Amino acid sequence: MTGNAKVWRAPLAGLASVAMIATMGVTAMTASAATSSSFVPASQTSYTVVLNSGVASFNKEAALGLDTTLGAGNDDASLSSDSKTLTIKNVPAGKTVAEVENAAEATMTAPTGYVFTAGDFKFWFDGATYGTSNMVDESLTVAKASNGGQVSLYAHVPTTNGIANINFAGYSDPVKIPSSDKLATWQVPTTSNGQHVKAWLRDGDANKALDLKTTYTGDANYSAQWYDQTDPVVTYKNANGSTTLPADKTQNVAPGTAFDLLSASELGITGENVAVAYYSKADKSAQFTANKTGVTSDTVVYVASTTRKTVTYKYKTATAKDDGTYEVSAYVDYGTDTIAQNQNALEPPAPATRADGAKFLGWYTNSDLKTKVVFPYAFTGSATLYAKYGDATAKKNVKVTFDQHYNGAPAATSVTYKEGDKVAKPATPTRKGYVFQYWYANGADDKDVFKDDDLKATANVTYFAKWATEGEDAYNKISTKLSNADKQFTNASYKAYEKVYDEYINASDKSVKEGKTQADATKAVKAAKEALVENTVKLYRVYNPNNGDHFFTTNASIQSSLVNLGWKAEGAPFKVAKPYADKDGNYLNLGELIYSAYNPNTGEHLLVAKGEAEGLAKAGWTNEGVIFAVAQGSSSKSVYRVYNPNTNGPAHVYVGKAEGASLVKLGWKWDNNAKPVYKLG
């Protein structure tokens, strides 16, 4: 996070371990099943760290220098084309998450309105999504934070108003988290004023015990609920005949709560091959197991050295390849555990979900994965256990590149998607003297890849820009001969258009006729096209007296059906063009297309342009598609929109100026600053 931990969370001392409160819910902090405290992870000298900046961006030059800052090799850092994902290979295993985060933050900037100042607090999670990912413990080393050889960190940068301060009694500094997120287990103190806490109560309310499922949208204050007794003291002594322990050792534990026995090193016992056995009786006649359920009174544990057995754990890692797939390793060392000869083995910390999405399912006695081990497990001697994984679920990474494809063009840009994701259409490029037409795939320069607005990322691919000169573009817009088979235009205007078109252009191949120039053809046919007069139909208006909605339709049958259901017919105040489309669904109307948008919460219908219909759909409205078009050559009547400010239901209606003025006198309001929204027939 930052060099000054105090500005963002309570001190590490007394904070909860995952083992201690992983199952903490609405009641007391109860422990999960005991895990081995003697497990030693396999040594690995370096790891790959992937940093995702979220709304922020990396400064390219500074970010690419982090490989040397963090002790990796030169050229071990790479940055995605959108400056959002920084990958650093060969980061030393001993680097802490805090060191990595601090170095990264110094190279990042975020938009206005977000809290991001290098040296201030930030929040790094193990996933991109709030509520389903966990804040990463900054005290971990890269090795301990690794997920199969890779550490992935995601910046959740809060807005200036998006920070929740969680205050725990007995701690001067609050735990800070992004608003709308949850506390991580390691952020919750397990002690206060030197005593273990049974539960943390919000605002001192016994019915509001801290729950790790709680989402915080603002500050919160917690006070400690104590156990009914003081912490029991566990005293470690030498068993009869043993001199293993240099001196008695004590350990305070939470009453009735499972705890980890002190390890050999914590007891001050040294020696490379020393193993420690724990007994409940000095004569070593009974193994000590009370730590699994906890103790409620002062207790003595007797220790002695013993021969040891070693359990070796092996697992498989997954690494992302350049082609977006994942390479799964053979079995490699996960770590080892040293257990006293007459004691059972406890389960080691479970491997994290692999980079390819495969989840850990358990430990097995052989690599054939047929016999699962149930812990605690009594080994008769040293053994090797193998991790079993479920199916890989991570999608393949796919790189989609857009190349403007001309001499002197800007460098191609690439975006990485997950396989099957929808590809976003990039901003329209510009080129002096040319007009962009569409993006096409290699070998198919006559097809727009975004034509159906459903382009999926299926493999690494490059799309190229199709260009036309300004003159070619203007000609392309008029070179296809319009048909009047559906009586879209008045006969007289179409005959005039057809005469001009046939004079300049060959309809069969859209070529300019001999003796004519492209420029002359463009000018003449464009003028003839603009002179076309589209035929009109009545636009009916009906009114729902139950909720105040006004609905418009060109379909007389729909109008009659609604009237039969109790709607009120209000005539046909306007004339419009029917929507005309070709076999591919492309609209052929010359005037503006008008869409119907429906609000399912209020029952209101609005007549809007395409962009507004799409925007309303994102806000929960239903885009009902094109309902009519403004008729070219037949539209001269101004249409206004007025609304009723005194209703919670449908409020708008489209009217002529005179009707609008009458409604305004009754208390309605002009919309659009009293300016026309359309001109219809």
Q: What whole-number distance in Å separates Cα of residue 197 and Cα of residue 189?
A: 8
pLDDT tens-digit readout, 104-142: 988 988 877 776 665 555 678 887 765 567 778 888 888
Two tokens at 414?
């690439």
The pLDDT of residue 1 is 32
Omega before 376 cis (within 30°)?
yes
Q: What whole-number distance in Å separates Cα of residue 148 and Cα of residue 48?
A: 10
46-52 and 150-155 beta bridge pairing:
parallel
85-92 and 191-192 beta bridge pairing:
unpaired
| Residues with pLDDT less than 50, the chain | 1-33
Are 96 and 140 contacting, i.e. CB atoms less than 8 angstroms apart?
yes
HSE, CB side, 13 Å, CA atoms: give it for residue 660: 22
How much of the chain is in helix, strand and coil states, percent to nearest 5? 15, 35, 50
Two tokens at 661?
């003025």
Q: What is the mean pLDDT of the chain?
A: 85
Instruction: Determine the 3-state secondary structure of 87 from DSSP.
Output: strand
- For tokens 């099957």, name the residue: 420
The pLDDT of residue 116 is 67
Contact residues for 170 (Cβ-Cβ < 8 A; gap 6+): 189, 192, 193, 224
Tell me the CA end-to-end span of the chain in Å, nearest whole number: 64
Are 280 and 301 contacting, i.e. CB atoms less than 8 angstroms apart?
yes
Are 164 and 177 contacting, i.e. CB atoms less than 8 angstroms apart?
yes
Q: What whole-number distance in Å separates Cα of residue 409 and Cα of residue 407?
A: 6
